[in-house]
Amino acid sequence: MEEKYSSNVLSGGKLGMVEVPNSRLTRYIVLLVVTKVLKALGIFESYDILKVVHIVHFIFILKLGSAVILLFFQKPFSSGKVISKRQWIKLLKHAVFSCVISLLGFFGLTLCGPLRTLLLFEHSDVVVIALLGVLFTSSGGGPSKTRGAALFIIAVICLLLFDNDDLMAKMAEHPEGHHDSALTHFLYTAIAFLGVADHKSKVESWSSLILPFGMIIFSVMILEFYVEAVCSAKMETPRCARYGTIALFLSALLLANFWTHPLTDQLRSMSKPPQQVSTEHVLSGGVLVSAVFFIMSSSILSSPSKKGQKGTLVGYSPEGTPLYNFMGDALQHTSQSLPRFIKESLKQILEEYDSRQIFYFLCLNLAFTFVELFYGVWTNSLGLISDGFHMLFDCSALVLGLFAALMTRWKATRIFSYGYGRVEILSGFINGLFLMVIAFFVFMESVTRVLDPPNINTDMLTPVSVGGLLVNLVGICAFSHAHSHGGKSCSSHDHGHSHRHGHGGHGHSHGSGGGGMNANMRGVFLHVLADTLGSVGVIISTILIRQFGWLIADPICSLFIATLIFLSVIPLLKDACEVLLLRSPPENEKDLNSALEKIEKIEGVLSYRDPHFWRHSANMIAGTIHLQIMSDVVEQRIVQQVTAILKDAGVNNLSVQVEKEAYFQHMSGLSTGFQEVLAMTQQMETIKYLKDGTCIM
């Protein structure tokens, strides 16, 4: 059953897993729960044993015991297939790895106690795989898995931060000591495995340990192995994992509560006087919360994903079953590796002037920021660190601009049928809004400071603001360079275009391109300008405060700067809005009007309607127009004339619909709604009247 549906990506609510009713599986579940409780018991016991027995001895005995028992039960050499040489190598690898893992696990047990070890270590493979899938692949399997992973991470964080185990205190006291001891432990391990040197041990009588060891071997290794195997054969693996984990964690919690209790001392097979105070590794709020989170996350993560992948319905097969197209999946396969992607986009960035400028300035800015942050952390100066974060915040605008400049050159797709040129304008708009927000916050802050001027420590301010000013001045130079070159580079760009397309719009490329740089670059430039103003303001106010002790100078400076930023952003926002609202481009308005006049004068053209012209991106003005012509004129000629005229006016993406009277007749014949035809014919008629009237007179 499992295999059948797990391969079906579409298993939705109705098609989903066929769950076997719990009643039939009760005995297996009970078996599993009992086993897990025993396992928890075994782990707790081994924690006690590990206090007296060295870890290497312990693992050696554990492995030896389980190996003997398994050998006796499984008879690997006498029955079954012969193991090949390759399999032997695999076995060897597996053995080494599992040894290392159990060594680490039990080492952890000695450090942080049985409960925390169980919480962190004993997760079923299903859970771990689901977690890794959510964290490292994009299609994790729906929101529930993401939630599970988030819970898991929160649980780990809870355990790390909020669990005030005394271990943490020890760790804090000797931060270096533990690494050292771990290393020595590994060394000891290696030596002890070779059997050269005998490690001294605190054990007085090995005989008293036989029973506990037998118990541990039985519960932790043998019983768990068999029961897991049986349960995953009879139940589904996820369900098995869910019940097992819940049972394990709950019993661990209970045991942790009662382990140090005097009642359990009798239960303990090792009746030794506790060496330490019983407050060691007790329950705490943090560990409780994290245990709850762990239980929840493992039950979420181990539940089979009910939702399939996202697919778009493309149609129905002849049998009537729906067919889906898995776009996401296809995209995932085609996406290249990350380093390659970075390399490619870096190359693209460096190709063009605009994006190269932004990129270099971004690098400079980031370098300055990190120097500032580093220095701030080193000298433990909070002002520097917060200023560094502020710079990072500003860098986000640059990143946006860079991304937009990169995107602008992407090829047109089905969805972006005009190409990505408009992204630049949108990014300019967003940058404008960004600046507005910044101006608003600065304004608010300075208003509160005018009312209550705080005492400012000016020691650190001057070098930082001078550094920022220098960086920003470099930026201003670079971008104003771009500004002055904007027209030129743009026109040369157009020149290249016009070479390809003949020489239609060459004369006008200067007119349209010379209007200044594009919205994106303007946004970035304004941002840098605002930063520079900020630095200048800080320097001036610092001087004023130092010289005259005017504390109010600082907020007044910021007020002034906020106003300046606000005022400088308005034109950018206005232009971007106009483009986004599909206004007909103001700089071409005159040309367009005269072009429309010219079109009316073309012989055979009766009239035009619905002239739409709008700037799509920095170097594309699109337009559509409907023309009514006499029935005896060749449409293609009119189309060409109109295209040529509008091309002269700067429109370089044009659609002309040429309609004769026959068209309206056909439309009415095709019975496209009575009202539409009515409107159309009336329009046609009114035009006709006018024209006729003028012609007769």
Partner 1 sequence: MAMDGMMSTSSGLSYHNVGDFYPRKFGPKPDVVPSGVTERKVGPLDKPDMVSVDVININDSDVHMHRKKHEHDTYVLGTIHPFRKTHRSIFGKLVQEFRLVSSDRRSWRILLFGALNLLCTGCLLMWCSSTNSMALTAYTYLTIFDLFSLITCLISSWVTMKKPSQVYSFGFERLEVLAVFASTVLVQLGALFILKESVERFMEQPEVHTGRLLVGTFVALFFNLLTLLSVRNKPFSYVSEAASSSWLQEHVADLSRSLCGIIPGLSSVLLPRMNPFVLINMAGALSLCITYMLIEINNYNAVDTASAVAIALMTFGTMYPMSVYSGKVLLQTTPSHIIGQLDKLLREVSTLDGVLEVRNEHFWTVGFGSLAGSAHVRIRRDANEQLVLAHVTNRLLPLVSTLTVQIFKDDWTRPLLTGALSSSASIAPLGPAEGYAALSSSSLPPMLMSSGGELDPLTSTPAKPSSPPPEFAFDTPGRNVQPVVLPAPGHHAHRPYGGLGLPYGAPPYTGMMNQGLARPGGGLGLGVQGLGAGYGLGVSGSGVPSSQSYRTAFGGSTAPLRFGTGNPLASQSQYRQYRP
Six-digit token string for 200? 């001294």
The minimum distance between CB 108 and partner 1, in angstroms, equals: 28
Q: Measuring CA to CA, which residue among 149, 152, 146, 150 is closest to residue 307?
A: 146
Q: Which of residues 334-393 bind partner 1 (CB under 8 A)?
A: 382, 385-386, 389-390, 392-393
Determine the interface stretch with partner 1 among 121-129, 264-272, 275-283, 608-616 (rule: CB under 8 A). 608-616
| Sign, Cα dihedral of 374, 379, 384, 385 | positive
Dihedral sign, Cα of residue 417, residue 573, residue 575, residue 513: negative
Instruction: Report the residue number, 114 or 376, with the smaller CB distance to partner 1.
Output: 376
Contact 660, 630 (CB under 8 A): yes
690 lies in the site for partner 1, by CB under 8 A: yes
User: Which of 119, 531, 607, 649 touches partner 1 by CB under 8 A?
Assistant: 607
Among 138, 184, 379, 594, binds partner 1 (CB under 8 A): 594
Contact residue for partner 1 among 234, 409, 483, 609 (CB under 8 A): 609
Query: Partners of 69 in the beta sheet?
Result: none
Of the residues 616, 621, 649, 650, which one makes contact with partner 1 according to CB under 8 A: 616
Q: Answer yes or no whether residue 672 interacts with partner 1 by CB under 8 A.
A: yes
Q: Is 22 in the site for partner 1 (CB under 8 A)?
A: no
Distances from the Cα of 265 to the Cαs of 116, 256, 284, in angstroms?
21, 13, 21
Choose, by CB under 8 A, the member of 20, 96, 254, 577 that binds partner 1.
577
Which among 88-96, 214-222, 345-353, 595-603 is the span making contact with partner 1, rule CB under 8 A? 595-603
Residues 78, 317, 417, 455: which binds partner 1 (CB under 8 A)? Answer: 417
* 6 or 641: CB nearest partner 1: 641
Within 8 A by CB and 6+ apart from 594, the residues are 649
Task: Rule CB under 8 A: choose which of 14, 414, 547, 549 binds partner 1.
Answer: 414
Enumerate residues 459-518 that contact partner 1 by CB under 8 A. Answer: 500-504
Comparing C-alpha atoms, which of 131, 142, 132 is closest to residue 310? 142
Residue closer to partner 1 by CB (options 125, 597) is 597
Work out how close the CB of 362 gets to partner 1 at its nearest, in angstroms, rounded to a whole number. Answer: 17
CB of 433 to partner 1, least distance (A): 5
The answer to whether 309 contacts partner 1 (rule: CB under 8 A) is no
Tokens 């130079």 belong to 477
Rg over alpha carbons for the chain, rounded to the nearest Å, is 38
The values of phi and psi at residue 21, to 5°, are -60, 145
Which residues from 159-178 bind partner 1, rule CB under 8 A? none
Query: What's the CA gap between 625 and 505, in Å, rounded?
Result: 19
Of 360 and 664, nearer to partner 1 (C-beta) is: 664
- Candidate list 6, 110, 146, 345; residue touching partner 1; CB under 8 A: 146
The position carrying tokens 């994790």 is 140
d(CA 475, CA 480): 8
Task: Judge contact between 368 and 473, C-beta under 8 A.
Answer: no
Q: Which is nearer to partner 1, 263 or 662 (CB)?
A: 662
Closer to partner 1 at the Cβ: 178 or 612? Answer: 612
**Can you tell me which of 267, 441, 494, 511 binds partner 1, judged by CB under 8 A?**
441
- Nearer Cβ to partner 1 (32/561): 561
Residues numbered 636-665 forming contacts with partner 1, rule: CB under 8 A: 636-637, 639-641, 643-644, 647, 652-665
Query: How many chain residues are in contact with partner 1, going by CB under 8 A?
Result: 118
Min CB(342)–partner 1 separation in Å: 24
* Interface characters, 532-571, with partner 1 (x: CB under 8 A): ----------------------------------------
Nearest partner of 394 among 386, 383, 382, judged by Cα: 386
Among 21-29, 200-208, 215-223, 586-594, the segment contacting partner 1 (CB under 8 A): 586-594
Determine contact, residues 388/400, Cβ cutoff 8 Å: no
Distance CA 476, CA 536 (A): 13
Candidates 19, 459, 587, 589: give the one binding partner 1 (CB under 8 A). 589
Residue 451 makes contact with partner 1 by CB under 8 A:
no
φ/ψ region of 109 (left if φ > 0, alpha if ψ in -120 to 50, else beta) reads: alpha
Q: Which residues contact 280 (CB under 8 A, 6 or more apart)?
A: 113, 166
The pairing of beta strand 322-325 with beta strand 312-316: antiparallel
C-alpha–C-alpha distance, residues 456 and 557, integer Å: 14
Q: How far apart are CA 447 and CA 556, in angstroms?
A: 9
Q: What residue ranges in 8-89 does DSSP mark as E strands?
A: none
Binding mask 265-304 for partner 1 (x = CB under 8 A): ----------------------------------------
By CB under 8 A, residue 330 contacts partner 1: no
Taking alpha carbons only, the member of 634, 639, 605, 636 closest to residue 624 is: 639
Beta carbons within 8 Å of 202's beta carbon, 6+ residues apart = 52, 53
